[in-house]
Amino acid sequence: MKKLKVGVYVDGANMWFTQKSLGWVIDWRKAVEFVKENFAVRGVYYYNALKKGDKKTKIYLEGLEKKLGFIVRSKELKRIETDNGYVYKGNFDVEMAIDMILEVGMKETIDGVVIFSGDSDFAYLADVLKKRLGKKVIVFSSNKFLSWELRERADWAYILNKLTRLAKDVKNG
């Protein structure tokens, strides 16, 4: 059977919270290998905001690029003042949506997207990709973070709670 050709898009912030809720860290090498077992991957994009001076996250993102071949999109976190102090925000939904439309939606040679996020903000994008552009939408998320809106629109949803084989081996890094 011919594998669907897909672009893979990782919402770094959403996956950070997902991993915290799962109690384990995703080994991105294993995750990409799993996706490649099921689909023909045409590029892996990882989106993550950086807090100014955060060397640990910068090294992590550089590792994804250099060791795993990810295309990393990053920007500085915004510090927003609230009545209760400050919050940091680094939303990438628009950038991810535009990249998916340009890199997958507008290319006849690519069949769909794999989205590592459960964010309901991607529900409309899923509708556009499927109904207007004829693409497949595959989602990876946890039970807790997969919104019903995105689950309803996805062609397939892989539940990370059941994919513990993608966990990073803490002993071997």
Domain span at residue 159?
A: 5-166
pLDDT band at 63 (very low <50, low <70, confident <90, very high): very high
Q: Is the pLDDT of residue 173 over 60?
A: no
152: domain CATH number is 3.40.50.1010
For the stretch 99-154, pLDDT in tens is 999 998 888 899 999 999 999 999 999 999 999 999 999 999 999 999 999 999 99
* Angle at CA of residue 105, ends 8 and 34, nearest 5°: 20
DSSP run (H or E) holding 34: helix 28-38
Which residues, other chains included, contact 135 with Cβ-Cβ below 8 Å and sequence gap of 6+? Answer: 104, 105, 110, 111, 112, 113, 129
Whether 86 maps to a domain, the answer reads yes
- Is residue 15 domain-resident? yes
Residue 32 in domain: yes
pLDDT of the residue at 4: 96
Q: Is residue 173 one of the residues assigned to a domain?
A: no
pLDDT at 171: 45
Is there a contact between 77 and 92 (Cβ–Cβ < 8 Å)? no
- Can you give the pLDDT at residue 165? 86
Give the total number of structural domains in the chain.
1
